Amino acid sequence: MIETRLGEFEEVILLLVGILGEGAYAYRIAEEFKNQTGRAISIGATHSTLDRLETKGFLKSEMGSATAERGGRRKRIFNITALGKRVLKESRDFKVSLWEQYPAFKVNFN
Amino acid sequence: MEELKPPVWANRLLRRFLRDDLAEEVQGDLEEKFYVDVKLKSVFRAKLGYWFQVFNYLRPFALRKKKSAQLNQYDMFQNYFKIASRNLLKQKLYSGINIAGLALGLTCFMVILLYVQHEFSYDRFYPNTERIYRVYQKQAGNEFMGTDYFAVTPAQLARVMMEECPEVAHATSVQRTSGLLSHNDTNFWQEGIAADAEFFNVFRVSFNEGNPQTALADGRSIVLTQTLAQTVFGDQDPIGKAFRYQDVAEDFIVTGIIPDPPANASFKYSFVIHLLYSSGYAEEIKHTGWSNNSYYTFFELREAAAVPDLENRFAALLKKYQLPEDYADYPFKDQYFAQSLTDSYFQTGVNFDLGQKGNLKVIYAYAAVALIVLLLACVNYMNLAVARSVKRAREVGLRKVVGAMRAQLVAQFLGESVLIALFALILAIGLTYGVLPYFAQIVERPVEFNLLANPYVIPALLVLVLMVGLLSGSYPAFAMSSLKPIDVLKTKTDVKISGFSLQQFLMVFQFVVSIVLIFSSVVIYRQLNFMKNKELGYDKENVVTIWIKDRALREKFEVLASEWQQHPGIIHTTMATSLPADISSSTLIKKTAADKDQLAIYQWSVGADFLNVFGIELVAGRTFSEEIKSDVTEENLIINETAARALGWTATEAIGKQVDRDGAKTIIGVVKDFHMLSMHLPIQPLMIRYTNFWGRFFAIKIKPTEIPQTLGHIEAVLKKNSIYPFEYQFLSDEYNKLYSSELKLGEVFGFFTITSIVIASLGLFGLAAFTTSQRTKEIGIRKVLGASVQQVVVILSQSFAWRVLAAFIIAVPLGWFAMNSWLQDFAYRIQLTWWMFALAGLTAFMVAGISIGYLSIRASQANPVDSLRSE
């Protein structure tokens, strides 16, 4: 059985993949994570999460083109799948619904 | 400038563990980061970062998978188990034989292992065990009971060693003692230890009550063991209570309670009393010079002190303390040695030694035989497995065809044999529980089997099973795994497995062992029988002996004797210093006072009627008489024939001659030689003196009828005259005690012999059953062509008969050598004769014959139609 629950860290990575679009490969995503959150993360940890998200079907990947700065090596470019997008949306809707049920914050949203 | 690159070693490491399909992208990412870092930070930081990133790829998803990890090992193991259990169940006979044989072998091995472990645990319970030593001495030339080593030393030695030898921390003089302990008119006959104040500094026993430092400080103190204290005082506090001991006219005060000596203490006691109870000791230690040898000396060596340094001091001590007035005409040169307590347990052949002894020779012999029996069982397994392997050749072929590697096949077969060994072990543990009590009784040791007593027992047994399994499975495993699938699968007929010669060799080996063991048992049994029935020169039957515990009784001997004699069952009575089976006192005599030559001679003091009580024959002269004054004043002697010869006379010449032993003594009689020592030793010169006072035993010749009534009368008379408990021994039992170690050996060997025969015949039966079943068709054809039942039986049994014969030829010299050297220990022994070998060979032949004969007769009587129809 494939695990379909989305962890918090996984959600962030998944969003970053969406933000980066064509430039979403492991190193780039790790850098972006650091820029956005201020927390450093190793490429290996990012890669491991990407691999897991791909197994869950939220991401798909293909090898990109070779560039000189990588000694001619290709990158693996990750893309969000339709399932991934739907899961992200569900996650957001769920949280928004929770926020709306919270009286203290309800005013702000109006 | 050197080209800037990521660290080479980090890269190698990465390639080592990283999945190949990830290599490109990961290396690309890491390299990209590296060059960015080089620009933004320093080269060093970049390299460090690279290492960091590499290590962060050590994650399960990125790791290279081992090839085998992708195979489903679990299913394969399940298959192995299934095949193994099917094989076991399908061939119940072979499995039964295998497991039973191994279980027997393992049982022998475990029993002996427990015994050996017990033997090596003696006296190891003191906190300072490895620093406890004893002193013993060699009096070169003073041969007594076959040895010139003595365990006893002078009373002063312990004190002198503490004062003059820096290597010695504490030293103590010790004596065995036994006597009547009396408290408030209740009397307890107890055996204990008499020792000086240092005893508990050497033997560091933890006290239940009292202080070890001061327990024996006072010459009138006594320390009790828990059990004795319990028996005498029950719940009362024993400390400070008063005892009387033997005939000492003063009280002894209890100063401490100690635990009972454990089962593996070489000397046991129920109390420790101060040596000063003995007036002899009190007198002795007043002298500086050494003029006695009656005390055991134990000492605690200082840490880091060397034993040789200490032993080098002994010569000087002897020179200093063996004063000329005592030692002027002493013919021997004494030499002292120190020996550790644990070594001294295995030191046999020292006269007057203290406590139980272990015999290393016997222990090694048992261990060797147990190992051999276990080996026999392993050999059985190997033989049967090789034989059966023919049936399993196709399995091996098929496994190989579908891709089994040789290592897997080896592992499979070894695994099977380990499994069988495990079954056998479980059976063997049960058997050991059953057998051990009997074995413990035979060897007279409290050997216990407690799986949880020692944390090593269970792991050790598992290692044993592993070793047995691997050993017995090794040959079949390698032989089978080397089969070529094409040979096995192509032909319809069964293949011959190489290793048939090994099988033959192993079978011969089994029979060699069996024949040697049978032969040894026969020889041991014959020698025991020989000693039991040999003409001893005295009559050991119907003689009641009583060890005189109550010394006051010695003076009442004449009264006792006349009261005993009133009973019709009592024929003769006498008193003696020792029993004729074990005369263990010796001295030196000369022909005249001026003579230089001395003769070492055993001495025995007896009452007047001793010839009649013991049935000893007089060759010349007369015996002692209470009416002759010179007899009663101990001026006359009787000697034995050997003594007469040693003095240069015939029996009749000796009468009336004089010898010097504390003054001139006249020889009035010569007795026929009798076995005054065990059969290990030749008959020695002996002089017999008269005594009506110095006896240690009463000996009473009784009629062989109505023995209980006679014994009742003896007891009643004693009870009237003494408060001491009545105990007696028959002389014939005392005689048998001399050979208790040989009797034990005989029983243990009998046990081993039967086990080994059972194992060997089990193996033989299995092997024969297999070969006859292989030859069913051959037998059918032979019978169709006109062979008789007898002819078929001969054909089937032939090869086995030849192997037993070969085994016999090898076994004869081995057995002869082993038993001949065992017999050398006896001065009086049987001759090894051909019929003993013949008996052993014939027994092996019969056992083999029965198992083969049964099978071959059954096979030859089968109707050929049944065996041939299938083709």
Extents of the domains making up chain B: 8-62, 129-357, 361-491+501-529+741-868, 543-737
What whole-number distance in Å separates Cα of residue B270 and Cα of residue B257?
10
Q: Which of residues 375-404 of B touch A (CB under 8 A)?
A: none
Judged by CB atoms closer than 8 Å, whether chains meet at A73 and B27 is answered as yes
Number of Cβ within a 10 Å radius of residue B487: 11
Q: Which residue in B has a C-alpha nearest to residue A54's C-alpha?
A: B61
B50 touches chain A (CB under 8 A): no
Q: Residue A45: closest CA among chain B residues belongs to which residue?
A: B56
**CA-to-CA distance for B394 and B367, rounded, in angstroms?**
41
Of residues B29, B30, B59, nearest to A48 (C-beta) = B59
Q: Do B62 and A47 touch (CB under 8 A)?
A: yes
Q: Which residues of chain A lie closer than 8 angstroms to B28, CB-CB?
A: 70-71, 73-75
Interchain CB contact of A52 with B (< 8 Å): yes
**Min distance B26 CA to chain A CA atoms (Å):** 8
The answer to whether residue A70 scores a pLDDT higher than 80 is no
**CB B651, CB B673: distance < 8 Å:** no
Return the number of CB contacts < 8 Å for A and B.
63
Give the closest of B35, B53, B61 to A48, CB-based: B61
- Mean pLDDT across A51-58: 89
Question: Quick one: CA dihedral B611, B615, B616, B620, positive or negative?
Answer: positive
Q: CB distance from A25 to chain B under 8 Å?
A: yes
CA distance B586 to A32: 107
Mean pLDDT, 10 residues at a time, chain B of 871 residues: 76 86 86 87 88 88 66 74 82 82 89 87 90 92 81 92 92 91 84 93 92 88 92 87 86 92 90 91 88 90 90 91 81 89 88 85 87 86 75 82 85 86 90 90 82 74 86 81 77 53 80 89 89 85 88 83 88 89 81 79 88 89 86 86 90 87 86 88 90 85 89 88 85 85 84 85 80 80 86 83 90 92 88 89 87 80 76 52
pLDDT, residue B356, reads 84
Domains and CATH numbers, chain A: 8-109 (1.10.10.10)
What's the pTM value of the predicted model, to 2 decimals? 0.71
pLDDT value at residue A108: 56
Measured between CB atoms, does B32 come within 8 Å of chain A?
Answer: yes
> Which residues does chain A have within 8 Å of residue B56's beta carbon, measured at their own beta carbons?
42-45
- If you write DSSP's letter for every residue of B284-338 in order, what string do you get? HTT-SS-----BEEEEEEPTT--HHHHHHHHHHHHHHHS-HHHHTT--S-EEEEE
pLDDT band at A1 (very low <50, low <70, confident <90, very high): very low
Contact A42 B61 (CB under 8 A): no
Of chain B residues 60-89, which have a CB less than 8 A from chain A?
61-62
Query: From the list A44, A52, A76, which residue is nearest B25 (CB)?
Result: A76
Contact call for B26 and A42, based on CB within 8 A: no
Query: Cα separations (Å) of B631 from B347, B434, B610, B654, B666?
Result: 42, 60, 14, 17, 10
Q: Which residues of B touch A44 (CB under 8 A)?
A: 53, 55-59, 62
Cβ distance B56 to A25 less than 8 Å, yes or no, reads no
> Is any Cβ of chain B less than 8 angstroms from the Cβ of A54?
no
The Cα B704–Cα B419 span in angstroms is 60
Residue B395 has what pLDDT? 83
> How are beta strands B221-225 and B252-258 bridged, if at all?
parallel
pLDDT at residue B870, rounded to an integer: 61
CA-based nearest distance B56→chain A, Å:
5
> Are B53 and A44 a contacting pair, CB within 8 Å?
yes
CA dihedral B841, B846, B847, B851 (to 10 degrees): 140
ipTM: 0.87
Chain A CA closest to residue B57: A44
The pLDDT value given to residue B141: 78
Q: How would you write B654-671 as a 3-class SS string?
A: HCCCEEECCCEEEEEEEE
Cross-chain residue pair A47–B27, CB shorter than 8 Å? no
Please give the helix or strand (H or E) that residue B705 lies within, else none. Answer: none
Chain B residues with beta carbon closer than 8 angstroms to that of A25: 25, 29
The one-letter code for the residue type at B667 is I
- Cross-chain CB nearest to A73 (options B24, B53, B62): B24
Q: Cα torsion at B424, B426, B427, B433 (round to 10°)?
A: 140
Helix (H, G, I), strand (E, B) or coil at B647: coil
At B757, is the secondary structure helix, strand, or coil? helix
pLDDT score at B722: 83
